[in-house]
Amino acid sequence: MLTDSYSVNSKGHLCLGGADTVDLANQFGTPLYVFDEKDIRNNCKAFKEAFDEYYDGNALVLYASKAFSCKEMYRLVNSEGLGTDVVSGGELYTALAAGFPAEKIYFHGNNKTPNEIAYALDSKIGRIVVDNLFELETIDCLAKDKGIKAKVLFRIKPGIDAHTHDFIKTGQIDCKFGFALENTEAYEAVKKVTTLENVELAGIHCHIGSQIFETEPFVLAAEVMLNFADKIRKDFGITLGEINLGGGYGIKYVNSDKPVSKNESIKLLCSAVKKACAEYDYPLPKLLIEPGRSIVGASTLTLYKIGCVKTIKDVRTYVAVDGGMADNPRYALYGAEYDAIVANKADKDKDFEATIAGKCCESGDLIGENIKIQIPEVNDTLAVLATGAYNYSMSSNYNRIPRPAAVMVNDGKARLIINRETYEDIIKNDI
């Protein structure tokens, strides 16, 4: 099993967080997203405790809520003492509606609209992470109108090539996010901010990519960022109080994935920051990170009903489920790999090779190819594992398919956290 949250009970059924997934499918219907609350809380604690151990606690873990945004998730991470990052007015609205403390919200995005920026300023959120000079000028203008000084971080591309899929690499110069270091763009932006009266540069941010298993790129990024902070201090007399090193910590989707422990990742990160600070005689800044999938991705699953099994002789077997790319577009988008289990036969061997297909009108609507599962039959419940991050948040109503419900399980008990969409929801904006 991928994590300790998954188990098999005496009926041979797959369980998550002690809850029988076949019962969950019967009770709540399918498709159904299932999250293990204990695991999410433990992930939050693991990051926090590592910072207490290696950085004397002068750190803030921001949950990257693009991974899974809903009111209950904001309430949960808030109760664990985390901050959050949002990337749109919609995520900000959801966080505030859940009662998330505004000062612990950081606002990202490479093309924030003036309305979104005004909303963030009016809501008195913690920081806006500035992506480009157009945005910087808009913030200055809007802050002036409102008679406030906006505290911002600059998003920097540190020029680090993380070993992950091209679509989720974000630290290299050819990327739509942020200011590059190599071509002095970042330096010029700092020069510009010193001329603005209504914006204060509180720190710098980088995020080098997602689903990264090596520790070296994170350490390198920390070194590059501290080096730039030191240059800013020398050339502009600004000592930055915050360094935000983003998210990207990899999780186990399939057995061959080997994630580094949170404790080890944070230990190395803190040691790199402390070393660089000692070298430059730089006061230790407040350190921030933005994990998304490593908080909410593992120890989760999506339950489907198998509707047909189509074997094409000498070609392959398609196992079609009652969801697909509308609730999980990650295979279609970048070939993401998943493990799957026939939940009502979880004690049987996985010796059947399946291509799991969705119900959308696209040949590319697959959850995965050549996945080993138990022998599939119509009406079986299929569990696709580790779907907590970037599934619900990337879901759509393609083919006018209502979005699934989501439940949180804890010690065998499940509670609904997102209602299943209805056909009425589907037409509610149609005129």
Q: How far separated are the first and last CA of the chain, in Å rounded? A: 48
Which of 67, 142, 181, 386 is close enough to bind ligand PLP by CB under 6 A?
Answer: 67
Calculate the alpha carbon distances from 155 to 110, 203, 210, 294, 424 in Å. 9, 9, 16, 21, 41
**Per-residue contact track with ligand PLP, 26 to 65, x per CB under 6 A?**
--------------------------------------x-
Give whichever of 203 and 248 is closer to ligand PLP, judged by the CB atom: 248
Question: Which range binds ligand PLP by CB under 6 A, 41-49, 186-194, 292-300, 338-346?
Answer: 292-300
Shortest approach of ligand PLP to residue 409 CB, angstroms?
A: 22
- Is residue 217 involved in binding ligand PLP (CB under 6 A)? no
Phi, psi of 357 (to 5 degrees): -110, 150
- Tell me how far, at minimum, the Cβ of 57 lies from ligand PLP, in Å: 21
Answer yes or no whether residue 262 interacts with ligand PLP by CB under 6 A.
no
Footprint (CB under 6 A) of ligand PLP, residues 84-113: 85, 108
Is 253 a binding residue for ligand PLP by CB under 6 A? The answer is no
Non-local CB neighbours of 15 within 8 Å, separated by 6+ positions: 6, 7, 8, 9, 21, 412
Nearer to ligand PLP, 158 or 291 (CB): 291
Query: Tokens 């921001």 sit at which residue?
Result: 62
- CA-based max dimension of the chain: 71
Does 266 sit near ligand PLP (CB under 6 A)?
A: no
Cβ-contact 358, 325 below 8 angstroms = yes
| Distance in angstroms (rounded) separating the CA atoms of residues 394 and 399 | 15
The least distance separating ligand PLP from the CB of residue 43, rounded to whole angstroms, comes to 11
Question: Is position 270 annotated as part of the catalytic site?
Answer: no
Judged by CB under 6 A, does residue 292 bind ligand PLP? yes
Q: How many residues bind ligand PLP (CB under 6 A)?
A: 18
169 counts as binding ligand PLP under rule CB under 6 A: no
Closest to 108 (Cα-Cα) out of 126, 85, 125: 85
Among residue numbers 186 through 215, which ones bind ligand PLP (CB under 6 A)? 207, 210-211
Distance CA 25, CA 383 (A): 10
Minimum distance from residue 309 beta carbon to ligand PLP (Å): 34
**Which residue in 63, 154, 249, 253 binds ligand PLP (CB under 6 A)?**
249
Closest by CA position to 322, among listed 367, 388, 352: 367
* Options 31, 89, 171, 291; binder of ligand PLP; rule CB under 6 A: 291
- Which among 39-47, 188-196, 291-299, 406-414 is the span making contact with ligand PLP, rule CB under 6 A? 291-299
Which strand (E) or helix (H) includes residue 265? helix 262-280
The catalytic position among 15, 175, 308, 361 is 361
Q: Which is nearer to ligand PLP, 65 or 302 (CB)?
A: 65
323 belongs to the binding site for ligand PLP (CB under 6 A): no
| H-run or E-run covering 27 | helix 21-28
- The token pair at 55 is 């950085």
CA-nearest of 80, 46, 51, 82 to 64 is 82
Using rule CB under 6 A, residue 392 touches ligand PLP: no
Q: What is the DSSP string of 141-208?
A: HHHHHHT--EEEEEEEE-----SS-GGGB-SSSSSSSSEESTTSHHHHHHHHHTT-SSEEEEEEE---
Q: How far apart are CA 425 and CA 427, in angstroms?
A: 6
Per CB under 6 A, 290 contacts ligand PLP: yes
What is the contact mask toward ligand PLP in residues 344 to 383, using x (rule: CB under 6 A)? ----------------------------------------
Answer yes or no whether residue 247 interacts with ligand PLP by CB under 6 A.
Answer: yes
State in angstroms the smallest separation of the CB of 155 from ligand PLP.
Answer: 7
332 pairs with which residues across the strands? none
Q: 413-421 — which CB contacts under 8 Å span 24+ positions?
A: 413/19, 414/19, 414/24, 414/27, 414/28, 414/34, 416/28, 417/35, 417/70, 417/71, 417/72, 417/73, 418/33, 418/70, 418/72, 418/392, 420/28, 420/29, 421/397
Residue of 89, 246, 358, 404 that binds ligand PLP (CB under 6 A): 246
What is the set of active-site residues? Answer: 361
Residues binding ligand PLP (CB under 6 A): 64, 66-67, 85, 108, 207, 210-211, 246-249, 290-294, 389
